[in-house]
Structure 1
Amino acid sequence: MIVITGATGQLGRLVITSLLKTIPASNIVAAVRNLDKAKDLADLGVQVRHADYSQPESWDTALAGASKVLLISSNEIGQRFAQHRTVIDAAKRANVKLLAYTSLLHADTSPLGLAAEHLSTEQYLANSGVPFVLLRHGWYTENYTGSLAASIAHGTLYGSAGDGKIASASRADYAQADATVLTTENQAGKIYELVGDSAYTLTELAAEVSKQTGKTINYVNLPEQDYRELLVKVGLPDVFANLIADSDTGASKGALYEDNKQLSKLIGRATTSLKDMVAAVS
């Protein structure tokens, strides 16, 4: 039995969709905070169990009988490590045979501020005694394409990534890779650095959007602080504005680039191209 944490999130749902192609729904457990949001998963035959980071005891029930667990990193910045630790401790009590954790690309050397909680989680896992595999995700292309509507409307794409190359892939690509690892034996101890097959700069992203929309979109590179202030001005909370601006600066230092093709090897096909991702939202 495979338990997926954060199962009603964007990545969690995609992982379950991938798993359903190869294993029975009854062998999948969706661990969720809000049971109502998982009704569609229950309708598919997936077991839905309540699990709340603020209620550590709930994880003992959620992981009962589990052989494998996919710990999808929490989205609560600043609280991630404590929350992840709760799941890892429960996995140890449940004698889980494999815990797969969605970490960050090169978490042990990344300059991104995001890396700290991921690395703390990795280190805790390493000392926990729970067999584990690290699924170090690179950037999701949706992190950029999800906000392209505003760029198209204003004719400008802002960022602070300079000429840094970004080897991103779609969430669906990562989800399929995660599902593949969960359904493949002898994964304990492995570390996957997962990225898209090809890379681009934000200038090249702007050019692709221009090509597909027929409207000139210029990339404007800003200092990190200026970009952060712009993001706050358009309505993003400080914590997310800091995260995005810091990540863009990290990209300028190569933090979102790798060229190992591990992701496409796992999924058995090329990762989704930037062209196709832009087309889906243009």
Structure 2
Amino acid sequence: MTILLTGASGGFGRRAVELLLDRLPAHELILMTRTPEKLADFAARGADIRYGDFDDYESLKSAFTGADKVLLISASKVGSRIPQHTNAINAARAADVRHVVYTSYIGKGPDNPSLAVGDHRSTEDLLRESGMTWTVLRNAQYTDALVEAGARVPLRTGRWLSSTGSGRMPLVTRDDCVDSAVEVLSTPGHEDVIYEITGPELLTYREVAETIAEVAERPIEYLDVDEEAMYAHFDSMGIPRVAVADQSVDAVPWSSEDMVTVERAIRLGFMEVASQDVEKLTGKRPKSLREFTREREGHLKSLRG
């Protein structure tokens, strides 16, 4: 069986490739990227490196040719995902791909206010209608994102602003998400199944801030604010309200519309999803926030103001 990974030069993709190479011969892997030169090390090991761009349907159709199973690592920009994912799914079908594994996002209910959840549910609908078999991996918010990006400003200023109220999110590490994806890609079954890829605990942002403050040994005042204050906070950082190409401000690659609507979904309880699917797939308990934060202790202390 030949497996293709989109976005193979990104953080998620590269780790997935490394793990797959421990299980499969390199010639069974097709690695798609917009920057093939970044995958020269995998090419040297025998993997097939191909150019592909979600905005270029013909490049996708060419890249997917000969693949039996595709890991569709979702695009990152709210507002762009649906047309990009439509291109990818149509190209996979045209190339006779049999099975698509998609990295989606958790979230309850048809009325979930998160723009990101809306993008992902629309993509899931496209997969169901495609005629291909599919597996959906609904990843929770990355622990990595809050510890390595979200904590940067609070550790400098001593203030953490949030509009999430008492809502809870089952933070999960990116590594646990990748490990789950690799299990699905490299083992039989999993057809037409949704997995909720979550961490071991439901946490409020206040609890996240307290854990980071404790490990970094830096007092952080947690401020529960409304959405208007959150938009003003992100505006002051120079973060665009609407997603733009190649945006990244102070290690934050998301638009404020994306982040504020996720916080609204958390506050209203839409993201409170508990699951044991990571352990079911991988055989190991997912890493907790405290365990991950302890591993990043030196980095966090280096960010203190």
TM-score by length of 2: 0.87
Name the counterpart of 1:115: 117
Give 2:48's aligned amino acid.
Answer: Q
Q: CA deviation at 1:108?
A: 5.5
Name the counterpart of 2:132: 130
Name the counterpart of 2:143: 141
Name the counterpart of 2:221: 218
User: Which sits farther off after the overlay, 21-30 or 169-178?
Assistant: 21-30
Q: Tell me the distance in 2 between the aligned counterparts of 1:152 and 1:106.
A: 29
Give 1:170's aligned amino acid.
Answer: T
Name the counterpart of 1:74: 75
Q: CA deviation at 1:103?
A: 1.3
Q: Tell me the distance in 2 between the aligned counterparts of 1:103 and 1:84.
A: 11
Runs of at least 5 residues in structure 1 that lack an aligned partner in the other structure: none
Which structure 2 residues correspond to residues 216-255 of structure 1 after superposition, within 5 A? 216-239=219-242, 240-255=255-270
Q: Deviations over 1:213-269 (max 9, x none)?
A: 222112112111211221121121222111111111211122332222112221211
Give 2:218's aligned amino acid.
Answer: K
Give 2:153's aligned amino acid.
Answer: A
Q: Tell me the distance in 2 between the aligned counterparts of 1:108 and 1:204.
A: 25
Q: Tell me the distance in 2 between the aligned counterparts of 1:122 and 1:52.
A: 20
For the Cα contact (< 8 Å) 1:72–1:101, is it kept in 2? yes
**Partner SS, residue 238 of structure 1:** coil
Q: CA deviation at 1:87?
A: 1.3
Name the counterpart of 1:65: 66
Instruction: Calculate the aligned-residue CA RMSD, in Å.
Output: 1.6
Which ranges of 4 or more aligned residues in structure 1 deviate by more than 4 Å? none
2:288 maps to which of 266, 270, 273: 273
Give 1:190's aligned amino acid.
Answer: V
Name the counterpart of 2:21: 20
For the Cα contact (< 8 Å) 2:78–2:115, is it kept in 1? no
Name the counterpart of 2:84: 83
Q: Deviations over 1:27-47 (max 9, x none)?
A: 111111121222233234322
1:256 aligns with 2:271: yes
**Partner SS, residue 75 of structure 1:** coil
Q: CA deviation at 1:73?
A: 0.9
**Partner SS, residue 115 of structure 2:** coil
Q: Tell me the distance in 2 between the aligned counterparts of 1:257 and 1:19.
A: 31
1:191 aligns with 2:194: yes
For the Cα contact (< 8 Å) 1:159–1:245, is it kept in 2? no
Give 1:243's aligned amino acid.
Answer: D
Give 1:91's aligned amino acid.
Answer: A
Name the counterpart of 2:182: 179
Q: Tell me the distance in 1 between the aligned counterparts of 2:181 and 2:45.
A: 20
Q: Tell me the distance in 2 between the aligned counterparts of 1:108 and 1:88.
A: 24
For the Cα contact (< 8 Å) 2:53–2:60, is it kept in 1? yes
Q: Tell me the distance in 1 between the aligned counterparts of 2:97 and 2:156.
A: 49
Q: Tell me the distance in 2 between the aligned counterparts of 1:87 and 1:185.
A: 23
For the Cα contact (< 8 Å) 1:197–1:264, is it kept in 2? no
Q: CA deviation at 1:18?
A: 2.3
**Partner SS, residue 129 of structure 2:** helix
Q: Tell me the distance in 1 between the aligned counterparts of 2:79 and 2:161.
A: 26
Q: Tell me the distance in 2 between the aligned counterparts of 1:106 and 1:45.
A: 39
User: Which sits farther off after the overlay, 99-108 or 65-74?
Assistant: 99-108
Q: Deviations over 1:6-62 (max 9, x none)?
A: 112222222222222211222111111121222233234322101122321112221
Runs of at least 5 residues in structure 2 that lack an aligned partner in the other structure: 243-254, 301-305
* Residues 61, 264 of structure 1: alpha-carbon distance in 2 compared, 3 angstrom cutoff: same
